[in-house]
């Protein structure tokens, strides 16, 4: 999500780090910063907004050094501001760090340090790392980092420098990418390949648990216990554009493949399956507040509206809360009956969509309790709602939303389970069971993505068709809507999503042997019902593309083309069943030569009515 660049060598490190950060600008960021050691002192500059602000702040000509680390921040904990921008230091300004990832146990680490009298300057989870390294520092930076990492739980790509050891950068990786670039008499560090391509093509991809010490002439990799690790040097052949997409042809495909990580990041530090505990720090509603809610309204647009439709099932089934879902542009122009016992949840990747923002403001003006589910920290909705629940999906660059959809369902699933438990509509044992299921989702998504090619084969057969029908029932009906939306927006093929049981009330007339029917028929309470609907479509000549559960041994009898997704609890299944539909639309659009990442007539964030 955030960008990291580091340099040590003979050249001016400031120029190289700034240049590397510019190469990562395409990923999106809200603030940036850089640190150097110069004449035995740490110097740090940080700025909100574009990198040119940082450049002005640096007064580039005057800041020269042979060692530097820099960062572009995409906020997760704490709003975008100069105080929250990286690098962060310890109170004595001898250690400085840049961090990408999420420190799950930062709150308890922070309160422990505060009890020892340490003052914190930011709202970030990252600042604790600098404090802890200082605490462990006894003239050996590598050792202090190793000791610190023993205390930290979570994900990190980390760069550290120390004013008393200006000849080295220490870096470490756990569940967040980090690359060491190899030069002659100089070495580099970066979160992403494009940052380094102008300087070197020889790179080491650090593995989880690796801690690297970089001097100008040497790279040593150890683990937390100081065991030396040998890592292969790879020569990267990609050009800059390929590297930005991590070798994927489009951002959409990259973002689809990121989902195991983005879903896991959304759960990270928030669910504890063994203890049967959900910890949603930002949502500050008490048990009484929750019990006092009479109705829930979920309001959103586009893909976010579809995740809202899925969430209705979660709130009703688990938390037993009466829930309605509305399209924001409809909600704001009817006269919804609103009062202070109604909770209005707005869902928005960007947090800036004009209609959703207007709906939030309307709800606030009527005294409702409001909660925003957003991906962008500090966005208008996240600032204006009473409560906010962030998805931790990182920047979504492709106009067509993919990872935001699964992140939103993941976030709202946790919320529904938490409230169900607090309202005692779910027992502790049931909670544990569902949390365990949730925890397994990223791995299941990852396993499915390994066979993405099977979806490509299906796409090849149908890319020339001009109309598609998507069918689903119950919690997978919104997935049918989402699959149809994806196909429409990136391939310009007409597609309709329908509740399968509604078919015989009209749309069945559309079906002939030229109409592919994508049916989501994973194992669920309505499995038999949707199978009957599929039979009806087949009887009219429709060609079926079936999304089925892996364990469904009879699926091949029902669908002409079957795509299997891993088995899971039916309420989680939308997260899995949507992935083949995202891939199907992607491959079809590529085959038709469409501009996948920037479809015609569409904007990523619709900030006008």
Q: What is the DSSP letter of 228?
A: B
* Cα–Cα distance, 321 to 314 (Å, whole number): 9
Binding mask 484-513 for ligand M6R (x = CB under 6 A): -----x------------------------
User: Rounded to the nearest 5°, which phi and psi values hold at 247?
Assistant: 85, -10
Please tell me the count of residues contacting ligand M6R according to CB under 6 A.
16
User: Rounded to the nearest 5°, which phi and psi values hold at 493?
Assistant: -90, 140
Burial 12-40 (b: 16+ CB within 10 A, else e): bbbebbbbbbbbbebbbbbbbbbbbbbee
Contact assessment for residue 203 and residue 179, using Cβ atoms and an 8 Å cutoff: yes
User: Rounded to the nearest 5°, which phi and psi values hold at 278?
Assistant: -120, 135
Annotated active-site residue 594? The verdict is no
Minimum distance from CB of 583 to ligand M6R (Å)?
14
Binding mask 586-605 for ligand M6R (x = CB under 6 A): ----------------x--x
353 vs 561, which CB is nearer to ligand M6R?
Answer: 353
Annotated active-site residue 368? The verdict is no
Burial class of residue 549 (count of CB atoms within 10 Å of its CB; 0-12, 13-18, 19+): buried
Pick the catalytic residue: 118, 465, 529, 604? Answer: 604
Is residue 262 involved in binding ligand M6R (CB under 6 A)? Answer: no
* Cα–Cα distance, 561 to 543 (Å, whole number): 8
44 vs 606, which CB is nearer to ligand M6R?
Answer: 606
Contact assessment for residue 68 and residue 36, using Cβ atoms and an 8 Å cutoff: yes
270 vs 486, which CB is nearer to ligand M6R?
Answer: 486
Minimum distance from CB of 79 to ligand M6R (Å)?
18
250 vs 422, which CB is nearer to ligand M6R?
Answer: 250
* Cα–Cα distance, 15 to 46 (Å, whole number): 15
Q: What part of residues 297-336 is at the interface with ligand M6R (CB under 6 A)?
A: 301-304
User: Rounded to the nearest 5°, which phi and psi values hold at 467?
Assistant: -140, 140
Taking the C-alpha atoms of 261, 551, 432 and 112 in order, what is their torsion angle to the nearest 10 degrees? -20
Minimum distance from CB of 419 to ligand M6R (Å)?
23
Contact assessment for residue 517 and residue 497, using Cβ atoms and an 8 Å cutoff: no
Q: What is the DSSP letter of 481?
A: H
Binding mask 371-400 for ligand M6R (x = CB under 6 A): ----------------------------xx
Residue closest to ligand M6R (Cβ) = 302
Minimum distance from CB of 4 to ligand M6R (Å)?
26
Is residue 348 involved in binding ligand M6R (CB under 6 A)? Answer: yes
* Cα–Cα distance, 179 to 44 (Å, whole number): 23
* DSSP structure string for 98-130: EEES-BTTHHHHHHHHHHTT-----S-STHHHH
Is residue 222 involved in binding ligand M6R (CB under 6 A)? Answer: no
Is residue 100 involved in binding ligand M6R (CB under 6 A)? Answer: no
Minimum distance from CB of 516 to ligand M6R (Å)?
21
Spell out where 293-364 has E strands.
Answer: 295-300, 323-327, 342-348
14 vs 487, which CB is nearer to ligand M6R?
Answer: 487
* Cα–Cα distance, 142 to 467 (Å, whole number): 60
Minimum distance from CB of 292 to ligand M6R (Å)?
28
Paired sense of beta strands 31-38 and 41-48, if any:
antiparallel
Is residue 266 involved in binding ligand M6R (CB under 6 A)? Answer: no
Is residue 350 involved in binding ligand M6R (CB under 6 A)? Answer: yes
Give the three-state DSSP class for 284: coil
Q: With CB under 6 A as the contact rule, which of the stretches 247-255, 283-291, 347-355, 409-417 interacts with ligand M6R?
A: 347-355
Q: With CB under 6 A as the contact rule, which of the stretches 224-232, 349-357, 499-507, 511-519 interacts with ligand M6R?
A: 349-357
* Cα–Cα distance, 306 to 349 (Å, whole number): 12
Minimum distance from CB of 596 to ligand M6R (Å)?
12
329 vs 573, which CB is nearer to ligand M6R?
Answer: 329
Minimum distance from CB of 383 to ligand M6R (Å)?
15
Contact assessment for residue 325 and residue 298, using Cβ atoms and an 8 Å cutoff: yes
Among 89, 356, 406, 582, binds ligand M6R (CB under 6 A): 356
Q: What part of residues 400-459 is at the interface with ligand M6R (CB under 6 A)?
A: 400-401
Is residue 606 involved in binding ligand M6R (CB under 6 A)? Answer: yes
Contact assessment for residue 173 and residue 210, using Cβ atoms and an 8 Å cutoff: yes
**Residues noted as catalytic:** 2, 604
Residues that bind ligand M6R (CB under 6 A): 301-304, 348-350, 353, 356, 399-401, 489, 602, 605-606
């Amino acid at each position: 999500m955030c960008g990291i660049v580091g340099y040590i060598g003979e050249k001016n490190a400031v120029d190289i780090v700034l240049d590397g950060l510019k190469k990562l600008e395409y990923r999106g960021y809200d603030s940036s910063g850089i640190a150097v050691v110069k004449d035995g002192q740490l110097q740090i500059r940080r700025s909100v907004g574009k990198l040119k602000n940082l450049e002005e702040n640096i007064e580039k000509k005057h800041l020269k050094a042979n060692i530097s680390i820099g960062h572009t921040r995409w906020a997760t904990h704490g709003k975008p501001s100069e105080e929250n921008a990286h690098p962060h230091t310890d109170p004595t300004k001898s250690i400085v760090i840049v961090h990408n990832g999420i420190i799950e146990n930062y709150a308890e680490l922070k309160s422990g340090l505060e009890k020892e009298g340490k003052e914190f300057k930011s709202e970030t989870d990252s600042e604790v790392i600098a404090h802890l390294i200082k605490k462990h520092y006894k003239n050996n930076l590598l050792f202090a980092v190793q000791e610190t990492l023993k205390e930290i739980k979570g994900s990190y790509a980390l760069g550290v420098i120390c004013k008393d050891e200006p000849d080295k950068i220490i870096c470490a990786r756990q569940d967040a990418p980090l690359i060491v670039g190899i030069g002659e008499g100089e070495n580099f560090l970066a979160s992403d390949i494009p940052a380094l391509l102008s300087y070197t093509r020889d790179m080491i991809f650090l593995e989880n648990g690796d801690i690297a010490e970089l001097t100008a002439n040497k790279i040593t990799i150890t683990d937390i216990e100081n065991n030396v690790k040998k890592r292969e040097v790879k020569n990267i052949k990609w050009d800059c554009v390929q590297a930005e997409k991590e070798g994927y042809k489009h951002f959409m495909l990259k973002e689809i493949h990121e989902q195991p990580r983005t879903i896991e990041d959304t759960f990270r530090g928030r669910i504890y399956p063994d203890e049967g505990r959900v910890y949603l720090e930002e949502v500050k509603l008490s048990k009484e507040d929750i019990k006092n809610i009479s109705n829930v309204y979920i309001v959103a647009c586009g893909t976010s509206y579809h995740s809202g439709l899925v969430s209705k099932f979660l709130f009703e089934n688990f938390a037993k809360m009466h829930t309605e879902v509305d399209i924001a542009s409809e909600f704001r122009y009817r006269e919804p009956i609103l009062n202070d016992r109604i909770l209005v949840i707005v869902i928005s990747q960007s947090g800036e969509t004009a209609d959703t923002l207007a709906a939030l403001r309307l709800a606030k003006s009527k005294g409702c309790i409001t909660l925003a589910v957003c991906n962008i920290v500090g966005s208008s909705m996240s600032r204006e709602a009473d409560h906010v629940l962030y998805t931790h999906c990182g920047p979504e660059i492709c106009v067509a939303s993919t990872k935001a959809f699964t992140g939103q369902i993941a976030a709202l699933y946790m919320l529904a389970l938490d409230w169900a438990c607090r309202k005692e509509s779910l027992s502790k044992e049931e909670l544990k069971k569902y949390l365990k299921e949730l925890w397994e989702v990223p791995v299941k998504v990852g396993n499915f993505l390994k066979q993405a090619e099977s979806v490509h084969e299906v796409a090849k057969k149908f890319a020339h068709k001009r109309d598609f029908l998507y069918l689903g029932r119950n919690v997978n009906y919104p997935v049918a809507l989402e699959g149809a939306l994806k196909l429409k927006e990136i391939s310009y093929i007409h597609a309709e999503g329908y509740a399968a049981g509604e078919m015989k009330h009209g749309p069945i007339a559309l079906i002939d042997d030229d109409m592919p029917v994508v049916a989501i028929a994973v194992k669920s309470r309505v499995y038999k019902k949707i199978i009957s609907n599929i039979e009806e479509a087949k009887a009219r000549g429709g060609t079926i593309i079936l999304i089925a559960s892996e364990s469904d041994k009879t699926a091949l009898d029902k669908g002409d083309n079957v795509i299997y997704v891993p088995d899971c609890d039916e309420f989680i299944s939308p997260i899995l069943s949507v992935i083949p539909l995202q891939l199907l639309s992607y491959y079809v659009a590529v085959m038709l030569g469409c501009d996948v990442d920037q479809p015609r007539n569409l904007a990523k964030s619709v900030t006008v009515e």
